Amino acid sequence: MIHNTAIIDPSAKIANDVHIGPYSVIGPNVEIGEGTWIGPHVVIQGPCRIGAHNKIYQFSSVGEAPQDLKFKGEETFLEMGDRNIVREFCTINRGTAQDNSMTRIGNDNLFMAYVHIAHDCVIGNHNIFANNASLAGHVILEDYITLGGFSGVFQFCRIGSHSFIATNSVVIKDVPPFVKVSGYYAKPFGLNTVGLQRRGFSDDTILQLRRAYKVIYRNSLTVPQALEELQKVSCPEVSQMAQFISLSNAGIVR
């Protein structure tokens, strides 16, 4: 299942049923799990571990050295989980020694064409990156997040679960869970209601989150005052939102 024009380094560990297409290059210290499909003209460099049942399409570059002038060839890593889809011309870089030396990607993510994931990013599960969405270095994404086409996230930002980043948005602050943002620079535009409904959140939970959003963004409260109000609400999702905000170092979009 490996095309005879593919170039495979002898140190690469490749499961027996992995498909590797024509003219792809698999470098040293690369591990690829079972059921993974690598298209033609893909370059994967190590140290890099790719899990099971991923699909990586043509002209993508996975596990290449970080685009960081501080990088001096140190051993750094990329880990990718299972069932991810990496479409054409995506670039996913390894970490740097200035952070944890690791770029980490979870499971069941979709990276559409031309997506860029920079060094030291940590990406959770079930996220969707539309075409040309880009993450700068050291960005943390939680789960079930949608990034619209041509959107970008600044270094060291955190994006909370079930949030939505609109097309052409530039995010320079943390985005709390469940919130929809848009603009250059991104500002909050209500809850990600459609996403929450599609994922089966109850009407009561969505109502509680709407009230929490108003406390944070509509009641002219400072962040500490808003957090004090949110602590009075008995709802796990509201508590999740409050905890995210309390841990924010960059500050949240306002």
Q: Helix (H, G, I), strand (E, B), or coil: what is residue 34?
A: coil
Contacts of 181-185 with C-beta under 8 Å, sequence gap 24+, read 181/253
CB 213 within 8 A of CB 191: yes
Residue closest to 235 by CA, chosen among 200, 216, 207: 207
Buried b (16+ CB within 10 A) or exposed e, 2-21: eeeebebeeebebeeebebb
What's the helix, strand, coil split of the chain in %, to 5?
Answer: 15, 30, 55
Active-site residue (options: 68, 99, 120, 174): 120
Is-catalytic flag, 120?
yes
Active-site residue (options: 39, 63, 137, 148): 137
Task: Please tell me the distance from the alpha carbon of residue 35 to that of residue 31, in angstroms, as a whole number.
Answer: 13
Full strand arrangement of the beta sheet holding 122-123? 13-14, 30-32, 48-50, 77-80, 102-105, 122-123, 140-141, 158-159
Residue closest to 202 by CA, chosen among 242, 231, 237: 237
Active-site residue (options: 116, 119, 126, 138): 119
Active-site residues, by number, are 119-120, 137
